[in-house]
C-alpha cells in the first residue's frame, strides 16, 4: 500500500449490514461502522460509483460506497454494452450477457426497413439489475465497503477542518472523507452541490415485455432502431433472449412528453408486440452537461450521470459512467492526499482535464451529430442503410474501434453530411 501521508485508520472488526448498522454476533449494537475518516466516500453504486470505488480501493485506500437502494434494483436502460464499456471493466469481470448482437434493423418512423449484419459481434446486451450488482461486488472485492439503505442529503465542506468533507445522511448522521465522488444519478444531490449545469434534457420511456420463446428467438442477435417522428428521437428493441424479454424504448426531448408516450405506444403496436403485457414500464430523464459545467468543487468530484456525462446523440451512458467513474476514483485518491487547498484544486483540475480530453471531445462530436440528425434523419437513414462506409463506421463505433470524433476528423464525407444536414 502506498503511504497516504496520514495516520492509519483503525481497522473495522465487525461486519456492516445493508442498513449501515453494526451488530455483534450476540445482537448488541456496537459503534457506528461509518465513524472515522475515510479516504474516499463514493455516493451511488451504479456503474460510475462502483467503478470509482473499485479504482480507489485498488490503490489500497479506505473507501466507502453508499447507496439508498439495495442490489439488485431496476434501472431504466436498454443495457447495451459497447466496446468502450467492455474495455473499461475490471480485467476479471464476467459480463452477464443476455444476448450478443450482430445485426441491426433500421427503420425511418416505421418505414423503409433495412437489416445490416456484421460478421463480428457489434455489442452485448445485459440486464442492468445483474450488471450493476456485479460491478458493486467487484468494488467490494477490491476492498471497498458497500453500505446500502442510506440516503445522502448533501455534503458540507469549507469548515475549520479543510482536509475533510462531511457527507450528511437523512438519519442525521454524517460521514467524514478526505475526498468524495458523487455518482448518484442524473438528479444528483452531489451534482447540485458542485453546480453541474445541463444544456440538453431528454425523456426516455421504456417497457420490459416478456414474450413467448418463439418471439424471443426471432429477435435473437438482432436489435431494432427506429429514427422517430420527433426531432432527435429514436426507438429501440433490445432482446434479452436468455430471460425471454424484449426491452422496448423511445427517447426524445423532454418537452415532448405526451408525444413521446404516443410514439412508444405506436412503436410497440407497429412491432406487433401490443398483445404482450409489459412486466415493467418506466421513464427516465437523461441530462447532458453544458460544456462549461464544473466537474468538481473543493474535495468533491462528480462522475457519470451526476456530472451529465453521456453521448448526446445516442444518449448512451454506460461507457461514459464506467470511464468517468474510474477517472474519478483515481483522481479522488490524489485529492485525498492533497494537504493544501492549492493542491486540492490542482488535482481536481487534473481530473477535469482528463475527462474533457477524452469524453469531452466525444461529446462535442456527438452534439454535432445530434444537431444534424434532428434536421435530416432521413439522410442518416439512407447513409447507414445504403452506403458501406457509413455502416462500417457505425459498426466500428459500437465495437470500440473508433469514435464519432475520430470519424468527423478523418472522413470529409462525414463532415459534409453533418454540415449539410444541419442547414
Q: Which three cell numbers stand for residue 278?
A: 409489459
The structural domains of the chain, ordered by start, are 37-73+129-198+289-364 (3.50.50.60), 80-127+199-287 (3.30.9)
The pLDDT of residue 259 is above 50: yes
- Give the C-alpha separation, 69 to 184, whole Å: 11
Query: Nearest CA to 61 among 335, 251, 384, 250?
Result: 335
The pLDDT of residue 19 is above 80: no
Query: Nearest CA to 197 among 316, 309, 293?
Result: 293
Residue 416 — very low, low, confident or very high, per pLDDT cuts 50/70/90? confident
Q: What is the pLDDT of residue 30?
A: 60
Report the mean per-residue pLDDT for the chain: 91
Cβ proximity of 234 and 316 under 8 Å: no
Q: Where are the beta strands (DSSP E) in 76-164?
A: 80-81, 99-101, 103-108, 111-117, 123-125, 145-148, 152-156
The SS3 of residue 99 is strand
The SS3 of residue 22 is strand
E strand or H helix at 296, and its extent?
strand 296-297
**pLDDT per residue as tens digits for the range 242-257:** 889 999 999 998 877 8
Choice among 23-37, 41-55, 309-323, 395-409 with the minimum mean pLDDT: 23-37
Angstrom CA distances, 130 to 5, 94, 243, 373, stand at 38, 11, 12, 33
The percentage of the chain sitting over the pLDDT mark of 90, rounded to a whole number, equals: 84
Choice among 26-35, 42-51, 317-326, 354-363 with the minimum mean pLDDT: 26-35
The pLDDT of residue 418 is above 80: no
- Give the C-alpha separation, 287 to 310, whole Å: 8
Beta-strand relationship, 198-210 and 280-289: antiparallel
The pLDDT of residue 37 is above 70: yes
Q: What is the pLDDT of residue 29?
A: 56
The label of the residue with cell 445485426 reads: 103
**pLDDT per residue as tens digits for the range 51-95:** 999 999 999 999 999 999 999 999 889 999 999 999 999 989 999
CB half-sphere exposure, 131, CA atoms < 13 A:
27
What pTM, to 2 d.p., does this model score? 0.90
Beta-strand relationship, 145-148 and 103-108: unpaired
**pLDDT per residue as tens digits for the range 261-292:** 999 999 999 999 999 999 999 999 999 999 99
Angstrom CA distances, 132 to 22, 79, 268, stand at 25, 10, 27
Amino acid at each position: 500500500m502506498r503511504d497516504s501521508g496520514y495516520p492509519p485508520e483503525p481497522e473495522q472488526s465487525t461486519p456492516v449490514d445493508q442498513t449501515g448498522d453494526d451488530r455483534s454476533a450476540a445482537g448488541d449494537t456496537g459503534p457506528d461502522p461509518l465513524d472515522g475518516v475515510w479516504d474516499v466516500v463514493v455516493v451511488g453504486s451504479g456503474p460510475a460509483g462502483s467503478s470509482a470505488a473499485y479504482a480507489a480501493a485498488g490503490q489500497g485506500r479506505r473507501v466507502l460506497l453508499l447507496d439508498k437502494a439495495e442490489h439488485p434494483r431496476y434501472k431504466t436502460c436498454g443495457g447495451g454494452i459497447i466496446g468502450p464499456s467492455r474495455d473499461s471493466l475490471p480485467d476479471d469481470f464476467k459480463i452477464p450477457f443476455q444476448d450478443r448482437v450482430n445485426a441491426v434493423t433500421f427503420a425511418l418512423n416505421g418505414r423503409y426497413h433495412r437489416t445490416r449484419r456484421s460478421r463480428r459481434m457489434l455489442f452485448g446486451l445485459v440486464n442492468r439489475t445483474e450488471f450493476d450488482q456485479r460491478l458493486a461486488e467487484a468494488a467490494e472485492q477490491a476492498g471497498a465497503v458497500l453500505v446500502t439503505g442510506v440516503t445522502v442529503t448533501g455534503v458540507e465542506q469549507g469548515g475549520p477542518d479543510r482536509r475533510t468533507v462531511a457527507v450528511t445522511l437523512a438519519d442525521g448522521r454524517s460521514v467524514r472523507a478526505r475526498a468524495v465522488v458523487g455518482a448518484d444519478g442524473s438528479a444528483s444531490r452531489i451534482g447540485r452541490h458542485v453546480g453541474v449545469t445541463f444544456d440538453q434534457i431528454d425523456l426516455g420511456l421504456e417497457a420490459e415485455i416478456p414474450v413467448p420463446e418463439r418471439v424471443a428467438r426471432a429477435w435473437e442477435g438482432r436489435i431494432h432502431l427506429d429514427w422517430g417522428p420527433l426531432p432527435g428521437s429514436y426507438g429501440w428493441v433490445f432482446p434479452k433472449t436468455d430471460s425471454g424479454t424484449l426491452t422496448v424504448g423511445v427517447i426524445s426531448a423532454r418537452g415532448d412528453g405526451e408525444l413521446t408516450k404516443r410514439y412508444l405506444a405506436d412503436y410497440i403496436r407497429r412491432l406487433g408486440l401490443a398483445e404482450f403485457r409489459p412486466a415493467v414500464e418506466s421513464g427516465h430523464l437523461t441530462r447532458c452537461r453544458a460544456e462549461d459545467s464544473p466537474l468538481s468543487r473543493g474535495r468533491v468530484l462528480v462522475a457519470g450521470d451526476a456530472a451529465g456525462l453521456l453521448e448526446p446523440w445516442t444518449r448512451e451512458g454506460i461507457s461514459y459512467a464506467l470511464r468517468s467513474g474510474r477517472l474519478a476514483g483515481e483522481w479522488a485518491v490524489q485529492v485525498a492526499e492533497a494537504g493544501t487547498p492549492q493542491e486540492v484544486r490542482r488535482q481536481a483540475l487534473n481530473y477535469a482535464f482528463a475527462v474533457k480530453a477524452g469524453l469531452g471531445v466525444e461529446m462535442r462530436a456527438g452534439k454535432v451529430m445530434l444537431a444534424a440528425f434532428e434536421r435530416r434523419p432521413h439522410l442518416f437513414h439512407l447513409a447507414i442503410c445504403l452506403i458501406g462506409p457509413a455502416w462500417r463506421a457505425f459498426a466500428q463505433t459500437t465495437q470500440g474501434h473508433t469514435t464519432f470524433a475520430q470519424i468527423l476528423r478523418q472522413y470529409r464525407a462525414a463532415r459534409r453530411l453533418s454540415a449539410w444536414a444541419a442547414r
